[in-house]
A and B are shown apart, each in its own frame.
Chain A
Amino acid sequence: MARPAGTLQPGDDPAVLDDGALLAAHVAGDPAAFGELVRRHRDRLWAVALRTLGDREEAADALQDAMISALRAADRFRGEAAVTTWLHRIVVNACLDRIRRRQARPTVALADSDPVPTPAVDSDTALDVRAALARLPEEQRLALILVDVEGYPVSEAAAILGVAEGTVKSRCARGRARLAALLGHLRNPAPDRTVRSETGTSGKGAG
């Protein structure tokens, strides 16, 4: 009986196979290979989904949708990107889908008359960093999560997000500035005005 390429054999240890070999084994019909691949990267994928969506159940749903989609489309992966980059990209996309569905609900508009990026709360009660992160524009939030939270190199974050490295740098820088404002790091010592912006604008720059 011919052995399908990449199929695990009895005694094979999936843990020693690299990601590409596991994906090939899955495409060749091994029913356990993709599960092993996901288990290997699950926590990092989860962290991206959780920080991006800010909701445990929604992040779990997004991650599951993304992994099922990847599982079904694995035969179309040709290796131009690393397997992990490909998986992350699908997760990011699933998260963006959910964010846009969320945004279909009414939100507070950005106040044209008060574009001051001062924090929404007094410095004494500055927003928790998670809440502040959730208020960033999504493209800035994703860049910050990948680079500053999860520690991916800018080049890999750029590959995951499908943008230039300079764009990632710009999004991170603008996101950090907005985050600093939300956390009260840029405000005057005296109480200041509050921001009425819920989502802000993407602003200028590369992204």
Chain B
Amino acid sequence: MSPISEDDLDRLANYAAGVLDAAEAAEVERLIAGEPAWARAHARLSAAQPRLDEALSGLAGEPMPADLAARLDLAIAATAGELAARRVGPHEVGSVPIGADGAAGAPRVAPRQAGAGALPAAAAPRENAPSPAPTTEPRRVGPEAIPGGAPAPGGGVATVVSLARRRRWGRMAVGAATAAAVVAACFGGLTLLNNAKDPGVSSSSSGAKAAPAVRGGQGPAAVPTTATGTDYTHDTLALAGSTASGRPAASRQAESVPNLPTGLARLAEPAALDGCLAAIMAAEGGRPASVEYARYQGQPAVIVVLAGGSARVVAAGPDCGSPGRGAALLDSLP
């Protein structure tokens, strides 16, 4: 047998797909009729089609693994929170100026410093991302070819951070994403706090709903609070704990007004939060180190990081601290 060449196999495939023009198709038909190698290749290629269908369709339907999906969710939540905070624009919190990008002035919460350092993949400003070398591939597809599609340096999708840099951060990316989400939410909370003071500024410009400030009283509610809306799962709950414990001291001192997920308005009241934290301490011991208004498996939840308790992080439902409901724990991690 003299097998046909790769180019001829391409011709044969195109013939079978019906994409050749009439003259080319006629030439292939002539070869199939007159050349044994072409005839064999054609017959075998035709006979292989059902097996190919089976092999290829068997690759479908593989869902994204839960750990990677959680990582993606957190990165998106972090970046979405950062964007929402930026949309509010420059304001002041008390006498502390914060620039539009959070980098100017000397804010008590330093979201850019913390965010940029903690999450290069998602929080690094696009304008600071390195531009990839111009591609020589003429058939590059991407959003630049769709009007309104996502542009990127070099005409394609931006790589927000280099692969090498990503690898350097390695597995810390998930925790860092959470940190950025928390910090971004702090920033959003701070700007919303200012909005509440300034009747000329509508907090709706960020898409967030202004909520009562959790000022931090003398009780347990004095712990730093943030509102991210991040949707945690059992797997990612541990990340909330690790990032909260690793946050800069400055952010721990920050007051914030939570951008509350629906269903947590009651727990935004200091007295109710005090009751919730007391119930959690009664159940798990220790002291609360931070409170995050978020979600757990899609449901509104407060995520409380504990120091010295039997659990290091818990997720509690909206009824936390209500009479007869105890801590209303949804999950806890030792």
Residues of A bordering B, CB below 8 Å: 1-4, 7, 10-11, 25-26, 28-32, 34-35, 38-39, 42-43, 46-47, 50-51, 56, 60-61, 63-74, 76-81, 86, 89-90, 92-94, 96-98, 100-101, 115-118, 129-130, 133, 139, 144, 148-151, 160-163, 166, 169-170, 172-174, 176-181, 183, 185-186, 188, 192, 197, 200-201, 203-207
A10 cross-chain contacts in B, Cβ below 8 A: 209, 262
The answer to whether B3 touches A56 (Cβ under 8 A) is no
A161 cross-chain contacts in B, Cβ below 8 A: 141
The answer to whether A80 touches B59 (Cβ under 8 A) is no
Known: A31-B81, A47-B60, A173-B19. A67 touches B72 (CB 8 A): yes
Chain A CB within 10 Å, residue with most, of B72, B73, B121: B72
Q: From residue B246, how far is it (CB to closest CB) to chain A in Å? A: 21
A204 cross-chain contacts in B, Cβ below 8 A: 7, 10-11, 14
Q: List 11 A-B contacts (CB under 8 A).
A: A34-B80, A42-B69, A60-B72, A64-B121, A68-B121, A72-B79, A86-B143, A89-B141, A174-B10, A181-B9, A206-B19
The answer to whether B5 touches A144 (Cβ under 8 A) is no
The answer to whether A35 touches B77 (Cβ under 8 A) is yes
Residues of B bordering A, CB below 8 Å: 1, 3-7, 9-14, 16-19, 41, 44-45, 47-49, 51-53, 55-65, 68-69, 71-73, 75-77, 79-81, 83-84, 87, 121-122, 126, 132, 135, 137, 139-143, 145-152, 156-160, 163, 166, 202-209, 229, 231, 259, 262
Known: A65-B160, A69-B152, A97-B157. A151 touches B60 (CB 8 A): yes
Q: From residue B260, how far is it (CB to closest CB) to chain A in Å? A: 10
Q: From residue B50, how far is it (CB to closest CB) to chain A in Å? A: 10
A86 cross-chain contacts in B, Cβ below 8 A: 143, 146, 149-150
The answer to whether A61 touches B166 (Cβ under 8 A) is yes
The answer to whether A31 touches B207 (Cβ under 8 A) is yes
B5 cross-chain contacts in A, Cβ below 8 A: 115-117
Q: From residue A34, how far is it (CB to closest CB) to chain B in Å? A: 5
Q: Which of B41, B53, B72, B148 contacts A42 (CB 8 A)?
A: B72
The answer to whether A185 touches B143 (Cβ under 8 A) is no
The answer to whether B59 touches A72 (Cβ under 8 A) is no
The answer to whether B150 touches A69 (Cβ under 8 A) is yes
Chain B CB within 10 Å, residue with most, of A32, A79, A150, A161: A32
Q: Which of B68, B87, B145, B262 contacts A60 (CB 8 A)?
A: B68
Given the complex of chains A and B, what is the CA–CA distance between A181 and B4 in angstroms? 11
Instruction: Give the 4 A-B CB pairs with smallest separation, nearest first.
Output: A29-B207, A93-B142, A73-B150, A173-B17
The answer to whether B83 touches A72 (Cβ under 8 A) is yes
B19 cross-chain contacts in A, Cβ below 8 A: 166, 169-170, 173, 205-206
B14 cross-chain contacts in A, Cβ below 8 A: 170, 173-174, 204-206
A144 cross-chain contacts in B, Cβ below 8 A: 56
The answer to whether A186 touches B60 (Cβ under 8 A) is no
Q: Which of B41, B77, B231 contacts A186 (CB 8 A)?
A: B41
Given the complex of chains A and B, what is the CA–CA distance between A204 and B10 in angstroms? 6
Residue of B nearest to A71 (CB): B79
Given the complex of chains A and B, what is the CA–CA distance between A38 and B151 in angstroms? 19
Q: From residue A43, how far is it (CB to closest CB) to chain B in Å? A: 4
Q: From residue B328, how far is it (CB to closest CB) to chain A in Å? A: 20
The answer to whether B76 touches A67 (Cβ under 8 A) is yes
The answer to whether B87 touches A29 (Cβ under 8 A) is yes
Given the complex of chains A and B, what is the CA–CA distance between A69 and B10 in angstroms? 36
Given the complex of chains A and B, what is the CA–CA distance between A153 and B187 in angstroms? 44
